[in-house]
Amino acid sequence: MPVYLATFRRFVPGKSPVLLAAHSIAPPVVPSEARLQQREGRRYRRTTGGWVLVACLLVLSGAGVAHAESRFELDAPFNVGLDRSYVFYSPSRIRRVGDAEPSHLVFEAQVAPNLFLPQLHIGHATPTLGEYIISAVVTPNIRLRMLAQESSPVIPPSFMPKLTLQVAHLWKPTLDEAGQPRRFALSLVNLVVGHYSNGQAGCFYENQEEAEHGCATVSGRLPLNETSGDFSTNFIRLEAQGRVVGHIDMARRSAWTLGASAFIERNSSLAFGGITSEMREVYGDGHLGFGLMLERMWFEHRFRVEGNLGGPFGETPRQRWTLNVEAAILPRWAAGFGAFARYVRGQDALNILFLQPVSLVQFGLIFELGPGLRARTSPTGDPLGAT
């Protein structure tokens, strides 16, 4: 899960302001298309209706505790639990049906800027941050992979634009005898609506042939058309995250952070670009997963280790779940850039390659800061108050 920097201030009576920089934790043939579409519509409405209700109740509960004070943050939004950007290399080879042999990787990248709409703060956890924070974030996420083949082609990329509605609850810090913050907690829920495709128009299965108005009516059989096959789905995703920051040392600007996360995602055939019945049969009804994270901040330098386990449900044939273990170092002076190493075992994460088993070692650069993240500062370096 993505990890971002959040800056907190607390005023202690009779003393100067103190700064707490805390880092949050970073196939078979199917029945008729019409019947499947009708069944999908009913399942989608039941599932999404419950998720939307949960999100609305969270927002309304936040509004209830705000008997009052609320404001919009326009300059430095609170940025936690969203996507990161990566550029990396792997010595492991990449397999695709249709290639003569596995290929070496030139580079792979995920470009995921988080674009915030005005952010609503309700109540006060600190003078500059609300107890409840409601965000709407647009992320035009793109994943690219270049292989070491003739002309070094960029194989079909992943286009994953999405809208995230987030409700975060900041618990007020626990203070020590001297009035210094020693521990605090954060919980948040993300409701994500998005699209995932690879921009191709070829037949989904390798044994199918293109016809004048689509693919010939040949029953699809594995393997998939992994070089030019069409991959497209819409999805709705519910995420829950919790972070606890402890052992805060104000003098050394240091702390420990422990985080946990879980998500469930549902594929949908509704609207333009939705999943087809033949793709649903193999790709599945959706995905779910879990994650753990441990981070050490020391003089505002960050050292993080995290693991995520996730996989599909409702797919045929059954697929293995995928394990990701990642370690990252983000120096304070790098302004959001850092270095990381990752091990991936399970299924390939690049669109139509999802049936390819992988065991990959990856390393490269990571970037975590989104637009407007850095807190406003005065000439002395102290954070300014809310506007």
pLDDT value for 38:
53
Residue-wise pLDDT for 265-312, tens only, equals: 999 999 999 999 999 999 999 999 999 999 999 999 999 999 999 999
In sequence order, which ranges of 296-344 are alpha helices (DSSP H)? none
In order of 148, 212, 305, the CA distances from 346 in angstroms are 23, 37, 19
Pull the structure tokens for residue 314.
């409702």
Question: Distance (Å, rounded) from C-alpha 246 to C-alpha 299?
Answer: 15
Above 70 in pLDDT, residue 43?
no
pLDDT at 187 over 60: yes
Under a CB-based contact definition with an 8 Å cutoff, are residues 305 and 26 in contact? yes
Highest mean pLDDT among 68-82, 91-105, 114-128, 224-238: 224-238
| pTM of the model as a whole | 0.79
Mean pLDDT of 310-327: 96
What is the Cβ-side half-sphere exposure of residue 231, based on CA atoms within 13 angstroms?
Answer: 24
What percentage of the chain carries pLDDT values higher than 90? Answer: 58
pLDDT tens for each residue of 219-258: 888 999 999 999 999 999 999 999 999 999 988 999 999 9
Superfamily of domain 5-367: Phospholipase A1 (2.40.230.10)
* Predicted confidence (pLDDT) per residue in 192-226, tens digit: 999 999 999 899 999 888 877 778 767 888 999 99
Burial class (CB in 10 A: 0-12, 13-18, 19+), 322: buried
DSSP string, 214-236: EE-SPPP-SSB-TTTB--EEEEE
Q: Which residues pair with 129 in a beta bridge?
A: 126
